[in-house]
Amino acid sequence: KEIKIKLTQYKKVEVNFFDWNGIIYRDEFNSIIKNLVKKTLLICSNMLQEIDLKVESIKEIIMVGGSTRVPLVYEEVKKFFQKEPLISINPDQVVAIGAAMQSNMLTQDNFQKTRTILLDVTPLSLGIEVMGGFVEKIIFRNTSIPISKTKEFTTAKDNQTSILIHVLQGERELVKDCISLSRFVLKDIPPKKAGMVRISVTFEIDADGLISVKAFEKFSNKQKNIQIENVNFLKSKKVNAIIEESMSHAKEDYYFRVKKEKKIESEYILSILNNALEEDKDLISEEELKK
């Protein structure tokens, strides 16, 4: 640690370590840590992609931890974010200062509370089960809360009068690889041809992390609501393991889903054609039907 601190100020440092004496240069130190710095910036890049945020949209960069004083770290962060990181805040104290401010916000109603906002995020994606045993994500991981998102779905079979809403949490494509949170049934929807019914599913997360899920059928105005509590109390190690697993299986999950969805689409088209043939068979001769 002392060598790292000295190399922050000087280009070389004389080292006396038990029976070894020598000089360590800053360039040597930089070559040792450069891969760690690249790995850290890769995480930053992935995070920006996940939340669909451009580097140019970031107003300030706050450095955290004494190691951010290392010149290579500072320069690489500056290059990546295309702006000078803030150096007016002590990186050794910034987390403690932020925690104290948040504590003050939660316990007092004062002027500072109106000026400072701390945004929590969803640790894992939330969605529902769709045809084929897949998960359709509605709120993605790292989305700031509070948040409300809606997606529209339809029925898979003719004359379907109810639909099961299976709420899931996770990053994988298949239901079996995600965490089941709740199930509920929307009943008494009008019996229509497959694909004609319109059902909007809304996920809402409030500032306390309480999840509300609503399914609403537009023709009949039928709806069903549920609330899910304590979803975010997974340990960080468990969350990280889920994310790492999804990344390691991302390619195979993607190709499996594409292949299965094409099969489902083909079966749906064949079903439509068969129904059309059945309805209009009087317009077709027996010879044409045999073909």
Query: How many CB atoms neighbour CB 94 within 10 A?
Result: 16
Boundary (domain end) residue, out of 65, 81, 97: 81
Regarding whether 246 and 138 lie in a shared domain, the answer is yes
Residue 281 falls inside a structural domain: no
Residue 271 falls inside a structural domain: no
pLDDT for residue 113: 47
Regarding whether 141 and 60 lie in a shared domain, the answer is no
Regarding whether 195 and 75 lie in a shared domain, the answer is no
pLDDT tens digit string along 155-180?
Answer: 888 889 999 999 999 999 999 999 99
Angle between the N-to-C axes of helices 236-248 and 250-279, in degrees from 0 to 180, rounded to the nearest 10? 70
Regarding whether 125 and 76 lie in a shared domain, the answer is no
Regarding whether 13 and 77 lie in a shared domain, the answer is yes
- Judge whether 129 and 168 are in contact, CB under 8 Å: yes
Q: Which two tokens stand for residue 28?
A: 């040597």
SS (H, E, C) the chain: CHHHHHHHHCCEEEEEECCEEEEEEHHHHHHHHHHHHHHHHHHHHHHHHHCCCCHHHCCCCECCCHHHHCHHHHHHHHHHHCCCCECCCCCCCHHHHHHHHHHHHHHCCCHHHHHCCCCEECCCCEEEEECCCEEEEEECCCCEECEEEEEEECCCCCCCCCEEEEEEECCCCEHHHCEEEEEEEECCCCCCCCCCCCEEEEEEECCCCCEEEEEEECCCCCEEEEEECCCCCCCHHHHHHHHHHHHHCHHHHHHHHHHHHHHHHHHHHHHHHHHHHHHCHHHCCHHHHHC
Boundary (domain end) residue, out of 81, 105, 131: 81
Residue 279 falls inside a structural domain: no
pTM over 0.75: no
Regarding whether 76 and 142 lie in a shared domain, the answer is no
Residue 225 falls inside a structural domain: yes
Regarding whether 171 and 56 lie in a shared domain, the answer is no
State the average pLDDT over residues 16-45. 86
In the predicted model, is pLDDT for residue 280 greater than 90?
Answer: no
State the average pLDDT over residues 107-136. 75
In the predicted model, is pLDDT for residue 73 greater than 60?
Answer: yes
Residue 229 falls inside a structural domain: yes
Regarding whether 55 and 130 lie in a shared domain, the answer is no
pLDDT tens digit string along 184-213?
Answer: 999 999 999 888 899 999 999 988 788 999
Residue 105 falls inside a structural domain: no
Residue 198, domain extent: 121-250
Regarding whether 66 and 163 lie in a shared domain, the answer is no
In the predicted model, is pLDDT for residue 84 greater than 70?
Answer: yes
Regarding whether 9 and 73 lie in a shared domain, the answer is yes
Average pLDDT over the chain, rounded to whole?
Answer: 85
Residue 86 falls inside a structural domain: no
| Number of compact structural domains in the chain | 2
Q: Which of 36-40, 101-105, 219-223, 239-243 has the lowest mean pLDDT?
A: 101-105
Higher pLDDT, 57 or 18: 57
- Judge whether 84 and 76 are in contact, CB under 8 Å: no
Regarding whether 243 and 126 lie in a shared domain, the answer is yes
pLDDT for residue 118: 54
Residue 262 falls inside a structural domain: no
Which of 7-16, 95-104, 231-240, 249-258 has the highest average model confidence (pLDDT)? 249-258
**CATH number of the domain where residue 243 is located:** 2.60.34.10
pLDDT for residue 202: 97
Higher pLDDT, 153 or 49: 153
